[in-house]
Structure formats: structure tokens, C-alpha cells
Structure 1
Amino acid sequence: MGRVSTTDTNQHREDPDFDSARARHETLAAEITEHRRRYYAEDAPTISDSQFDELMHELVDIETAYPQLKNEDSPTQQVGTFSEAFTPVVHLEKMLSLQDVFSLDEVRAWADRITAEVPDEPYLCEVKIDGLAVDLVYERGRLTRAATRGDGTTGEDVTANVRTIGSVPHRLSEGDGFPVPELLEVRGEVYFPTADFERLNEAQVEAGKAPFANPRNAAAGSLRQKDAAKTAERPLSFIAHGLGALQGFQPESQSRSYEALAAWGLPTSPYWRVVPTIDEVFAYIDEFGGKRHGLVHEIDGVVVKMDDFGVQRRLGATSRTPRWAVAFKFPPEEVNTRLLDIKVSIGRTGRATPYAVLEPVRVAGSEVEFATLHNADQVKAKGVLIGDTVVVRKAGDVIPEVVAPVAAARTGDETEFVMPERCPECDSVLAPAAEGDIDLRCPNGRTCPGQLRERLAYLAGRSCFDVDRMGYIACAALVQPLEPAEPVLTDEGGVFDLRIEQLLPIRVVVRDPDTGLPKVDEKTGRPKVVTPFAKQPDKKTGEILPRKNAEEMIQNLDKAKSQPLWRVVNALSIRHVGPVAAQALAEHFRDLDRIRNADEAEIAAVEGVGPTIAAAIKDWFAVDWHREIVERWRAAGVRMRDEDPDPSEALPQTLEGVSVVITGGIPGYTREGAAAAVKARGGKSTSSVSKKTGVVVAGDKPGSKYDKAVELGVRIVPGEDFERLLEHGLPESVTQNDENEPE
């Protein structure tokens, strides 16, 4: 509970009604919080919904009469708002991905590698929830931050939204034998309970809205609402399955950490199990493979971990995945359906991709109407014909794909697919971009409606300018309007010059974002037409006013001009250049003109870029209308350079050129913070030890990297000397004695 201010208390010192109300408020808040925990975390409510509502209404009445009792920890305050956009936040410790395996033989091979190093150690098995990974930070028991996984290092701040999830406690409870730690970073999964998801989709259909594809998408979309009140309307749940940074808590095992998390009020999976042998791991996988659609949530596999944290530390991790855990993915479900047609979509770089139009069928928990066919060669290689009965599955339970035809079901009426010679969007002749290319591309990069529509949707997305309210319908409307006859944009150069009066007359056919195909109005059987930017004319005056989303889109475009350089580079849709390469280029050159004017060899030399990307960049800037886009954006005020770091604020480059590996806990630093400190001093923080490693910093409970350093004779500095290393650089003389400590 949050504190009532001393001033407020003093004002009511002699008011017995206030004292009574405060006592009842505390009792109610605690009781409601406990009921929520039972309902969301244990699935074992002890009162009915109506009884719960009565308690909540009483709490609201007390806070209405005595507003000073309302505080951020009250159950009535679990709905907040999230203003403009999600703020990027750096995780205290990096969120690693798990190594995926798809057969029991691969699980056994992983286990054999482990037991060769640490024989006779128990495994912890748990189901792999099909949800959205999040990172929660508790400081002195209070939830201070929640973030999505993001890229593992940096995620999106979704604190306000996560606070609306009933199973996530705002404050940790004091557990029996588990004092609340000073700092606790919790990893877990936000998910949509299966039954709630089905009810949500029924409500969506009844309201005339499109149903969600699957529980994970519904969970992700719900959690990423800009308005947390909308998130609160969705019955999301949370389960904790791991730890990040810790202070004041050092469990000896994964299972012990789960007991602690449950004691503090954090929900953990009821399905985890510690087993001593790999055969029992296989039995667990088999058991939950049969139950995968009968649990409270959807699962897509089983995670197997070494239970002992000492073993985990010893085994260590690669730059991406821990060596002490593996994720067994269930075989994707396969179903048969009819292939009605094969059509071709045009991507933002002009690639022509065949896709299957299917008789709708449910696969792995969601309805599928379209499936990828990759390219014409793949269609031929698979041997599928239009009209075939085909086997369809979801690759990784995510992307629908056609596996093969059911040849025995053929009637003789099937027809062969012929790749079109012309672009279905602009009628240009399709051709390979270069000799030897398998893919055909539309050469009309500037004005092909399909390419431009996809480029606009991409530049408005999260990895580029992040323009809220500029969704797929809006992008199609700017490029392919029914009215006016001419498109508002003929390339993306004018996107930052858009005016509200240009948008009001636009009528457009609604298109499917996966295929670009027009959607059909179920009532009329004709393409669905909307006025995306304007309200219906006033019945009395005939005046046409803009929709709120149109005004906000224009405002957000203006704000987007100040996005950092890497987002601008990524938004140009240069072939082969994605977010990672864009960030590397921006960090190295810091100015778009410098990227444009650099020679190919200089670009290729940038770490993470290489010759293919360098050639694509030079080719892109060689095109006149590409350069015109840059100049129009520049004239509109789009940021074209990042400021150089202030030399006066630069730290001494005491580790310039030195490769540093950090293992174990370093006093006062998270792992990511220690790596950043090395980079700030000119060093290179690497994840593996080799003969080229300059120094290994061995902190508390170092892992296998310490053993590797000893084996190779690499310099070792204890963690308590990390600050000295940063300040003074490598010691002049470090000898390797039996303990590998500096002299």
C-alpha cells in the first residue's frame, strides 16, 4: 500500500469516520489483491464475480468520499494511460533467446554435451508458453518497470500497460523464508488464456470486427496499446519463468527460484517439473505434446533447463543462447485443404512472390486463408497445381506454408501455375534484378502502387519513423485512392509534406496487409470502400471534417522528422539494409551525406555491413529519384545527421583496441553495463575467450570462460579490480599463477 500523506492524516486526526474509512480501505485493498492473485495466478477463486464486484464498488465509494486515500497501489488505479509512444529501455541483463530443436535426437545430443561436462545433474522441464516475453524490474519489492524483450538488449517500456494485468503484483509480498530482495529482474510471458481468447474472437465477430489470428498476436497487440485503458479491457495473464539481475537474493537452483517467486506473489507455471534423467525429459515432452491444446494457455513446445544455477554458470552462454537450456518445438500441425488459386504479391523492393489462396482452414490454433510459396521455382519443385488438395502447416507454428500436394486426390481438373510476365500492380515487365537471381522483380520502383504502398507501410513502422495512425489502410489510400483519380503520393518523397486538406477527399478500397488484395464486403459482395481520413459530411451544412486519426497522423509525421539517423537510413528501403546495418552505418558515418559520398570499400569496411550491402547502397544513391526523396525529406526538416559526441565528455581510451571478456558478477555493474563501460573506454566487449582475447574480467562465480582463459593463458583480472582496469588500462605485468590472480 502507498502512504497517505502526513498532512492529510493530520487534517483528519480527530475524525473517527476517516480513521474507520482508512482502516476499511486497507482491509479491502488487501482482500481484493488476494482475490485477484487467486483468480489470475492460481485459477482458484474463492468468491463469485458478483461478490468481487461488490468489494471493488465499496473501495471506489470510500475513495470518492476520501480522495486522499487513493494511491498508485490501490486496486482502483490499475488502469493508466500511455501517452505518445513507447520509450526504449535497456534491460539490466540481456534477455537471451533459447536454442530451438525439433527432434528428440537433438534433445539427446544437447543432453550428451551437457553431461560430458556436468554428469548426473537434474533437469527442469516446463511448457513453452506461446505468448509475449516481458521483463519486470522490482526495486525493494515495488514494480518500477516493465519492458518487452525487444532485441534482447533494449525493449519497449510497457510499464503502464503491464500494471493493468491482474496477475502481476505491483508490490511483492514477504514470503515464508524468502525476504523480498533489494533488486529483482523477472523474465516471463504475457499470454491470453485460451478460453478468454475464444470469447474475445466471438465478441470481435459479433461487433463486425476481424478476429485475432492467434492468442499470441492478441496478447502482443493488447499489451502494445498506446492507451493502457485498452490493455486493461483484455484479460491478459502473466507467468514468470526466469531471472535477470539480482541483489539480495541468490537461489541455488531454478526450482528454488520458482518457489521464491511464488512466495512473493508472482505467478509461476503449475506445469514445471524437476527430473533426474533424459528419459524422464522425453516422457514430459510426450505428456505435454498430447496436452498442448488442453492447458489454460497455448504452448508450442517444452523448455528443458539445467536446474542447478552453479551448473548454469559453469556452462555459460553464446552471444545469443544459453548453453544450459534448449527449447524443443512441437512438430507443426499439418492439415489438408484446397488450393483455390496462386497469386503474386509485390514487396517494397519489387520482389514478386507467389502465394497460395486457400479454402479457409484452421491450422495450429488459427484460421489460414493464404500461405507462402516463396518463388516460381518452389512452386514447381513442390509440384502443386491450382485446384489441388494440399498439405498446409505453419513453419515454426507461425508462417503458413504449402508443404505438398495430395496427388491421390486429383480429379484431372487441376491447372499448372504460370508466373506472370507483368507486375499485377502496375503492368511493368517482371525481370531478375541481376543475372543469376531466382526472384523476379518489378523494375518500376518509383510509382508501382504495390511497392510504394509497402514502402510507406514500412517507413511508418516501428523500426523506421514509427508514425502512429499511419497504418496499412492509410498507406494504400495515399497510393491507390478511388477518389481523387490521381494518387496523393507518387513516391515517398512527399510523405512529410502531406496536408490535411489533401486527405479529406480520399476514398479507398480496403486491402489485406498480408496480400495486398482488396477485401470484400460480406453484405454486398463488392470490394469494401472507406473514407479513411474524413468523417461523413454534416447532414445540415455538408461540411466535411477530418477524422481524429488523420489529424494525429499529420502531427505524428511532424514529430517523426526528429528520429535518429539510423531510422532514416532504414526507412529508405535500400535492398539488404535492415535495422542492424542501418544502426552500424549511422554510428560509423553519423551523416547521411557521408554515407552517400563514401566509396564502396569504406562502406563495406564498417563492422556488420560488408560488400553486398555496400554495393546496394551505392546502387541506390545512383538513382536520381532516390536522391530526390532524400532532398525532399531534408527540405521538410527530417534529421539527416546525428551530432558527434562532445570530445570534452569523452572518457580516456584506456582500453583502445583491447578485447575484453567479462564473466561472473562485477560489483556495481550489470553485465550490459560492464560491457558498455568497456566500449566507452575504447575496448571491445566480446562473449567468447580465444588467444586473441586481451583480458578476462573474472567476477563473482565465473563460468566456463574463466576455465577457458586459464587453459589458453589469457590475462585474468578479478572483478573487484574492474574499475582500476577501466581507469588505467591493462596492468603492465600480469602473471598467471596457480590461482590466476594478478601479482
Structure 2
Amino acid sequence: MRQRSLFEIEEEIARLREEIRRHDELYYVHDDPEISDAEYDALVQRLLELESAHPELAMPDSPTQRVGGKPVESFPEVIHRRPMLSLDNSYDIEDLRAFDERCQRLAGPVAIAYVAELKIDGLSLALRYRDGLLVCGATRGDGTRGEDVTPNVRTIRSIPLRLNGAWSDLGEEIEVRGEAYLPRRAFERLNVERDAAGQPRFANPRNAAAGTIRQLDPRIVAARRLEFFAYDLLVDGRKPFDAHWETLRWLESAGFRVTEHALCSSIDEVIAFCSAMEARRDALPYEIDGVVVKINSTALQEELGATAKAPRWAVAYKFPARQATTQIEQIIVQVGRTGALTPVAILRPVQLAGTTVSRATLHNEDEIRRLDVRIGDWVLIEKSGEIIPKVVKVIESRRVGVERPFVMPTACPVCGGHVSRPEGEAVARCVAADCPAQLKARLLHFASRRAMRIEGLGEALAEQLVQRGMVRDVADLYGLKREELAALDRMGEKSAANLLAQIEASKERDLACLIYALGIRHVGERTANDLARHFGSLERLSRATVEELDALPDVGLAVAQSVRDWFDDEGNRALCARLRAAGVRTEIAAKPSEATRDERFSGKQFVLTGKLASMTRDEARALIEARGGRVASSVSRRTDFVIVGEDAGSKLERARALGVPIIGEEEFKKMLESATP
């Protein structure tokens, strides 16, 4: 087999990162995942393998360096007092033994006991109890910040509203962490109901649970009958018991359900438990995708600590991938925002590990040749943690002679433009500057939540804007008129006004958001933040040399050259000038100095509740922070002011009960006027 070039490996790494980020947004922001967790895990695992084998290609903004994901704005924000980290994965017995060897090496000459628990296929929640009563239920979000979904959490009957037993011995405030999930029977019933209502079916129980917990109407949540298993306990951000086994016992006594688990004195006992559970997985009333293995001693857990992503004292053993055979009905080619052409196999739909699979990426022309994939072939597909299923092999014995070879197009399938594949690269690209597929993808990236956060600019609208020639690049968004937007399909005056308001608000996004939104190759969120912080303005960044860029920590030569190449393009420089002329912020927002701080804001904690008439919550937050204050998501005795808008909810009642000062929007605006930085 021909040894792959460094260019090919770099291209695969770039594709993996972009795909993982896209699916992060689909899953965590839109509740609309396209693939299973096993496929996602395998993509991340593949990226980890490539970065480990080629550390010179590793980047600090890689999805492997972060937990992933961002909370949406439909619910109040909650900051987790202790990060909710993800777990490293193991896929075979040797991985488990390697985990045990690492733990033994780090722990020194002490015997290690483990607790093995079923890994529920659901979503993580953090529950806060104050004086024994449930006061907050939050999603995991990005691990640091989640969403307050307390009304929905209260509908889950396996979550006690009041703790049993001697909870007061631990402290006034207790946090319980666990997994919300949809039982198999509830999932099947839900899909039957959706079929009857003409609604699309949920792909799997985890997808259904994630969509359910973020429903705005708690009655819908109650009707779907989520369940909950608890797996951890914190008091003041620490673990109150000497052993995890004791934690599970306490959780049961307090009224929680915990999964089937075992106390294991060796890794061999852990492996035996994993094997037994894998054999029983289909007989369980809920979906599991593996076993979580944790060191039992909490003192040893603290000693081993965690990386930025995961604890060193725990691992998730994922059950082996499931395979299925299906037929390739067609092969299509998708065009991304960088012009990359990606062949995609359209499959005869097949059930695989609880998910209906109907497509699989074929990556590139070389992969198609390697597998000798043809249209009409029967293939073996596999979910082994990859973001999307992969074709393992072609079942040549099922060929009947009508299968057709696939040839990559020499012209862009969207615009007809020239397709180029430079020597040494695996990816072919459309090089047409006016390719509508690329423009549409660039618009969606520019408007995404992690970039300029233009709510309402989705697939359908982007398609219309491109097709009707209303935008030629992202700068044209700032010249759109209400009347022309209102005339588009499914828009109208109100939707047009809302979109224009979002576009106007995007002008004040941070410089880092703008740099990321520009879509410069290899520049992710973290790199965009580093560049914004170092150079301070788009103009200074545009003049930076490759040497200056490469000298920055965690940037590297590949990123430096990519940034320099982007700004060397005359069209890109013109785009930046047009964005600047439109009023988009192209300099980093100045931090409040001592001279600009106002005593009514500096060091004060604000909480926002209800709808403000003259500004969005994001805008109000920015104004407060610019004056030295900070915004919290919940009302406490440490809150200095609660700003109240229309339809204020429970936060207003909480503020009254605690005697926290309450101010209306007009009073808030007067405070701003007299404390303008």
C-alpha cells in the first residue's frame, strides 16, 4: 500500500476537524444530529490518532482539545461550579488494560479498586439541591456553561423534588449529576405518535432525549416520560465521600436510581463485568453503549486529576462497533465552503445500532479507488465511533454485472466551475470564485452561533439570497433591505425586521468572532481568539508576516501561511474593507480601565430576566461588562441588581424573596447613560 504523504494526512485532519465541529453544532445547538454517538466517537478517535502520530500538525483549536459544544439562548445560562468533563474512550480489552497500567503507574505502589457502571445513552444533567429541595436542573452544555432547564427536570419522576435521608449532614447545597434518558418503550411510543401526527421520527433515544429536555413547554416533556440515573455527588465543588461506591450508596438512599454497577478489585473483574453487560445489552429496558470505569478512591481521583478534556481516573469502555450490509443506490458530490468536493454514498436505509443509516461519506477519490466502490454495490458498513458510518468493504460476491464505476466530476456539480486537485493532495476543489454552493456555505458559517451569531439566517434563506443574487459575499448582508427580504418565501415583514436586527447586532460581535467567521483555513475559534488578542485589530492582523504569525504560541507554520495567503488575496482585502465600512467591529473591544469603571457597575453582579424592549440580552450583557460589572444566570444573595423586562419569570419572585434590588429597563438605561465608558 502506498504510504500517504504529509499533505494527505493534513487534509484528512482538516476534514475531520471541520466535520466534528459541524456535528457539535448540529447536536449541541440545534438538537438535530445526523449521526450516532459511536460514529462521532470514532471520528474523534481517528483525529486523536492522527494528531498523536503527527504532533507537528496538532493545533490548540482542534476539537480534541475541547469538550465541545455551546449552550443556546432559549434558556438561562448556568455556570457549573466544577466542569462537567467528558470521558476518554476505550474500544477493546487492551485499551482497558492500558488504562489500568496508566492508573497504576500514576498511583504508585497502592492497590486500585474500580467501580464499573453501565454507560447510559442519554444526556448529562446537573441537579442542585438547597436545603434538600431541588432548585436547579442544568444541561452539561459546553462543560463549563449549561442551560437552566429546571421546569423540565421537575417533570422527570425518577428525580426526587426533595431528598430523602440525612442530606443535611453534607451541607446546605448539594449537586447531583447523572444521565437523563428515554426508555425503549417510551421511545417506541413516541415515534408511533409522531408517525400518526405526520412528524419525522426520532433517529434514536439519545436524539429524542436531547430534543425533549430543551422543549419550551414542560407539558411536552412530561408526556414523553424521561427517566434519570444518578452517578455523582458534589458538595461545595468537592466529593464528600472517601469512595465512589459510598457515593452510589448515598444517592440510592437519597431517592435516586443508579445503574447496575460492580465494585471490582482488579481490571480482570472490570473486563468480566463489561463482557456480561455486553451480552445483556439488548435485554435491558434502556439503551447502553458501554461501561464507565472509575477509580473507587476519591482521594486517588483527586491526586490523578484531569486533562483539559477528561479525568485521568475514569474511562468509557465502548462496546464493539455494530455492522450491517446495505446497497449503494447513488453517489453524490457535496461542495463545502472551501470548495472541497466530497463524494457521499446514498444508501438503501438500514438500521444500525439503533439508528437509521441512509448515507456514508466516501471521503475522496482515493478512498473510492482503494475500496473499488461502485454504484449498485452491496457493502458492509460499520459504526465504530466515526461521525458517520464508514464502508468497510465491498461484497463482491453480490455483484450482478449492472454496477457502475463512479468518476469524480471535472466540473463543479453546483456551478459548473473548474475543479482542481493539486498534486499530493487528496481533496479536489471547485476554484470558481462565484460558486453558489461555496457562497451559501460561507454565509451559513459567517452567521453561525460561534461566529457572528445572526439568528434566523438558515439553509433555506441562504439558498434564496444566493439564488436571487441578493448577496455576492458576506459583506452584502449588511446592505439588505427590509422590503426585499420581506418578499422572500416564508419571510414577511416581521421576520425581515427580526433578521435585520440580528444583522445589525452582529456588528458589535468580538473581533475574535469576526476572524473566525471569515472562514480562513485552519483558523478555528481558539486560534481566532489568539489572533484577536495579539494583534488587536483586523488591519494589524492583515499586515502580519508569516514569521510574526508563526512566532505566536500554538499557531504554527501551516496556520501562519494560511492566514497570510488569505490576506494576500485582493478580493479578501476588499471584503474586509467593505465589512469595516458597513460598521462591523474590526478592533478588539477595549477592556474597562479603572478610569472607565463606574462604582454602580464595577464588581457588581447583575441578573437579567424578561424581555427588554430596546436591546437584546446579549447587548445588555455587553454593556454591563464594558462598565466593569458581570452578569449571572440565577438570583442569589450575592446578586446586586435584577434587571426586569416584560414577562419576567421566577427570577423576579426570587429577587423579591431575597430582598435584592429590582430595576426596570428605563432605570437601567439611566444608569448606563451616567456611567458611559
Question: Are residue 394 (structure 1) and residue 394 (structure 2) matched?
Answer: no
- Match for residue 438 of structure 1 among 405, 426, 448: 426
Give me the whole-angstrom Cα distance separating, in 1, the residues matched to 2:227 and 2:133: 19
Question: Are residue 239 (structure 1) and residue 235 (structure 2) matched?
Answer: no
- What is the SS of the residue equivalent to 2:442? helix
Give me the whole-angstrom Cα distance separating, in 1, the residues matched to 2:225 and 2:500: 33
Label 1:88 to 1:248 Cα distance change in 2 as closer, same or farther (>3 A).
Answer: closer
Higher relative contact order (CA 8 A, sep 6+): 2
- Match for residue 323 of structure 1 among 309, 312, 316: 312
Label 1:356 to 1:219 Cα distance change in 2 as closer, same or farther (>3 A).
Answer: same
Aligned to 1:725: none
Give the partner amino acid of 2:570: D
| Distance apart, 1:168 and its partner CA | 7.4
Aligned to 1:129: 120
Label 1:203 to 1:532 Cα distance change in 2 as closer, same or farther (>3 A).
Answer: farther
- What is the SS of the residue equivalent to 1:269? coil
Give me the whole-angstrom Cα distance separating, in 1, the residues matched to 2:153 and 2:257: 17
Check conservation: 2:292, 2:317, Cα contact below 8 A: yes
1:247-266 aligned at under 5 Å gives the runs: 250-265=240-255
| Distance apart, 1:280 and its partner CA | 2.5
- What is the SS of the residue equivalent to 2:211? helix
Structure 2 gaps of 5+ residues are 1-70, 597-677
Question: Are residue 452 (structure 1) and residue 439 (structure 2) matched?
Answer: yes
Check conservation: 1:92, 1:244, Cα contact below 8 A: no
Give me the whole-angstrom Cα distance separating, in 2, the residues matched to 1:340 and 1:375: 18
Aligned to 2:490: 532
Give the partner amino acid of 1:166: I
Label 1:185 to 1:459 Cα distance change in 2 as closer, same or farther (>3 A).
Answer: farther
Give the partner amino acid of 1:216: R
Label 1:277 to 1:200 Cα distance change in 2 as closer, same or farther (>3 A).
Answer: same
State the Cα deviation string for residues 475-513 of structure 1 (Å, max 9, x = none).
Answer: 223223xxxxx332222222233333223443xxxxxxx
State the Cα deviation string for residues 567-593 of structure 1 (Å, max 9, x = none).
Answer: 222111111111121122223233222
Label 1:91 to 1:426 Cα distance change in 2 as closer, same or farther (>3 A).
Answer: same
- What is the SS of the residue equivalent to 2:578? helix
Give me the whole-angstrom Cα distance separating, in 1, the residues matched to 2:313 and 2:595: 41
Question: Are residue 375 (structure 1) and residue 368 (structure 2) matched?
Answer: no
Give me the whole-angstrom Cα distance separating, in 1, the residues matched to 2:497 and 2:84: 38
Label 1:404 to 1:249 Cα distance change in 2 as closer, same or farther (>3 A).
Answer: closer
Aligned to 1:691: none
Aligned to 2:538: 592
| Distance apart, 1:449 and its partner CA | 1.6
| Distance apart, 1:350 and its partner CA | 1.1
Give me the whole-angstrom Cα distance separating, in 2, the residues matched to 1:91 and 1:441: 43
Give me the whole-angstrom Cα distance separating, in 2, the residues matched to 1:409 and 1:182: 66
Give me the whole-angstrom Cα distance separating, in 2, the residues matched to 1:129 and 1:240: 10
Give the partner amino acid of 1:634: R
Identity percentage of aligned residues:
37
| Distance apart, 1:641 and its partner CA | 2.5
Aligned to 1:573: 519
Give me the whole-angstrom Cα distance separating, in 2, the residues matched to 1:625 and 1:85: 37
Label 1:260 to 1:377 Cα distance change in 2 as closer, same or farther (>3 A).
Answer: same
Check conservation: 1:93, 1:245, Cα contact below 8 A: no
Give me the whole-angstrom Cα distance separating, in 1, the residues matched to 2:443 and 2:243: 49
Give the partner amino acid of 1:390: V
1:9-158 aligned at under 5 Å gives the runs: 85=74, 89-115=78-104, 117=108, 119-143=110-134, 145-152=136-143, 154-158=144-148
- Match for residue 464 of structure 1 among 440, 451, 458: 451
Give the partner amino acid of 1:298: E
- Match for residue 184 of structure 1 among 168, 171, 174: 174
Q: Which moved more, 1:336-345 or 1:320-329?
A: 320-329
Check conservation: 1:393, 1:401, Cα contact below 8 A: yes
Aligned to 2:191: 201
Check conservation: 2:322, 2:384, Cα contact below 8 A: no
Give the partner amino acid of 2:529: Q
CA RMSD of aligned residues (A): 3.0
- What is the SS of the residue equivalent to 1:246? coil
Label 1:607 to 1:159 Cα distance change in 2 as closer, same or farther (>3 A).
Answer: farther
Check conservation: 2:482, 2:500, Cα contact below 8 A: yes
Label 1:118 to 1:425 Cα distance change in 2 as closer, same or farther (>3 A).
Answer: farther
State the Cα deviation string for residues 153-202 of structure 1 (Å, max 9, x = none).
Answer: x3233345654542475854242476352343433323333322223333
Give me the whole-angstrom Cα distance separating, in 2, the residues matched to 1:228 and 1:478: 36
Give me the whole-angstrom Cα distance separating, in 2, the residues matched to 1:549 and 1:225: 22
Label 1:122 to 1:384 Cα distance change in 2 as closer, same or farther (>3 A).
Answer: same
Check conservation: 1:371, 1:401, Cα contact below 8 A: yes
Check conservation: 2:520, 2:562, Cα contact below 8 A: yes
Aligned to 1:603: 549
| Distance apart, 1:249 and its partner CA | 6.4
Give the partner amino acid of 1:499: K
- What is the SS of the residue equivalent to 2:413? coil
Give me the whole-angstrom Cα distance separating, in 2, the residues matched to 1:322 and 1:249: 14
Label 1:367 to 1:412 Cα distance change in 2 as closer, same or farther (>3 A).
Answer: same
- Match for residue 312 of structure 1 among 290, 293, 301: 301
Aligned to 2:348: 359
- What is the SS of the residue equivalent to 1:576? coil
Q: Which moved more, 1:333-342 or 1:389-398?
A: 389-398
Give me the whole-angstrom Cα distance separating, in 2, the residues matched to 1:343 and 1:290: 38
TM-score, normalised relative to structure 2: 0.71
Give the partner amino acid of 2:93: L
Give me the whole-angstrom Cα distance separating, in 1, the residues matched to 2:404 and 2:511: 50
Give me the whole-angstrom Cα distance separating, in 1, the residues matched to 2:495 and 2:284: 39
State the Cα deviation string for residues 283-315 of structure 1 (Å, max 9, x = none).
Answer: 221222123344333222111111121222233
Give me the whole-angstrom Cα distance separating, in 2, the residues matched to 1:227 and 1:633: 40
Label 1:208 to 1:557 Cα distance change in 2 as closer, same or farther (>3 A).
Answer: farther
- Match for residue 288 of structure 1 among 267, 274, 277: 277
Give the partner amino acid of 2:119: K
- Match for residue 498 of structure 2 among 552, 565, 580: 552
| Distance apart, 1:144 and its partner CA | 5.1
Give the partner amino acid of 1:109: A
Check conservation: 1:141, 1:181, Cα contact below 8 A: no
Give me the whole-angstrom Cα distance separating, in 2, the residues matched to 1:270 and 1:138: 21
Check conservation: 1:473, 1:532, Cα contact below 8 A: no
- What is the SS of the residue equivalent to 1:396? coil
- What is the SS of the residue equivalent to 1:367? strand
State the Cα deviation string for residues 55-98 of structure 1 (Å, max 9, x = none).
Answer: xxxxxxxxxxxxxxxxxxxxxxxxxxx99545655432233321
Give the partner amino acid of 2:333: V
Check conservation: 1:181, 1:248, Cα contact below 8 A: no
Give me the whole-angstrom Cα distance separating, in 2, the residues matched to 1:496 and 1:118: 65
Aligned to 2:392: 403
Give the partner amino acid of 1:156: G
- What is the SS of the residue equivalent to 1:427? coil
**When the two structures are aligned, how many residues end up with a matched partner?**
525
State the Cα deviation string for residues 683-708 of structure 1 (Å, max 9, x = none).
Answer: xxxxxxxxxxxxxxxxxxxxxxxxxx
- What is the SS of the residue equivalent to 2:390? strand
